[in-house]
A and B are shown apart, each in its own frame.
Chain A
Amino acid sequence: GQQLNQSPQSMFIQEGEDVSMNCTSSSIFNTWLWYKQEPGEGPVLLIALYKAGELTSNGRLTAQFGITRKDSFLNISASIPSDVGIYFCAGRIQGAQKLVFGQGTRLTINP
């Protein structure tokens, strides 16, 4: 069943705008990962988070592991056309071995 709630499902923004998306769960997570997937390709790892409160950046991308360990967010600053794609959060629930994925956020950018 669905263990991660990712929102929003889709975003339509103007080039240059900042973007924010998040994932929440009722379960406690030990790891949060953020991936980007483009058409016809597999998900590409953007940022990995391993500790509650951790804030990590990768260029214009910043992600945080929520203090409660039940959520994470991803921000993209000053969006550009190549940021278009589907962004997935994924996490490993405490005590479990496998990753669970969110439903994805589809980002569309108007030039």
Chain B
Amino acid sequence: AQKVTQAQTEISVVEKEDVTLDCVYETRDTTYYLFWYKQPPSGELVFLIRRNSFDEQNEISGRYSWNFQKSTSSFNFTITASQVVDSAVYFCALSEALSNTGKLIFGQGTTLQVKP
């Protein structure tokens, strides 16, 4: 069965600190996709990244970076020099090959609070 675990329920940092959000997944599929979404208090899901199982290259986008390690089934997300606007709930999600479906299995979410 597919499963996503975000062990950190809440994280609180002070502005400008770096913070890493952990994500560990389980799947028997050889082809799958991993996602990160940001959910501000208004509720909408803001897409951050999609990574397929064959691409283990780490990715950097501005202050955001992602570390995909198939050996440990982890897909961690780091925010560098955090800002107050980064405060939100962050979800890691998993789906099987998108050509077959599109449904996502979400982790429990990590609430990030960035204090000024």
> Are both chains from one complex?
no
Binding site for B on A (CB under 8 A): none
